[in-house]
Chains A and B, each alone.
Chain A
């Protein structure tokens, strides 16, 4: 079955420290993976997708098929990065179904 696992509910770091939000997936086939972010009092929004291989707000994520992981990384955390981060996998079936992990709350302290 398709599944996304985010093992950490909360990740707490100091400003300037490196950040790695973990995401592991289970999927038979070629996965399409996304990171969504929700800042306080804002709606859920796309941060980045693996197929674009882009860097948004200093965040990057590399798909590792061997380890079935799609960890989100940033070398130097900023206070404004504090938010809820969700890893998501596009489900099978040719329609727009996203399978989300439970999310990790990132808290960046000054």
Chain B
């Protein structure tokens, strides 16, 4: 298994444009989470999806949206790009995604998509 895969690896956009980032989870994993990592900071939670439904949302504006497909892959969409959206976008998959107690579900991260907004 290749693990979590993300595409594209790098992307350059200009302000005001729209971007779509893609993620394929580990086979058998039904939950996908998205994180934004700005240079010099830790990853910040954006969304979690499980069984095609949004399970959680971080403190991000409505310009950010996501969806999950029947094969559990996911897309992150960002509209009206701002310079501050420049970051590494990470996708993480987990088996169920309940985040329940008694173990804390392991999240497996992809390599990320580096987005530069000019």
Contact = CB atoms under 8 A, between A and B. Distances in A.
B94 A96 contact: yes
Interface residues of A, number: 26
Interface stretch (A42-50, A58-66, A74-82): A42-50
Interface of B: 3-4, 31, 33, 35, 40-45, 48, 50, 55-56, 58, 90, 92, 94, 97-112
A98 B100 contact: no
A90 B99 contact: yes
Given A32-B104, A46-B106, A46-B107, A96 B99 contact: yes
Contacts of B42: 4, 6, 86, 88, 100-103
Interface of A: 4, 6, 32, 34, 43-46, 49, 51-52, 86, 88, 90-91, 93-103
Contacts of B106: 46, 49
Given A95-B55, A96-B31, A97-B33, A45 B48 contact: no
B47 to A, nearest CB: 9
Closest A-B pairs by Cβ, 10 of them: A100-B42, A95-B56, A96-B99, A44-B109, A95-B55, A32-B104, A97-B45, A96-B97, A95-B99, A100-B43
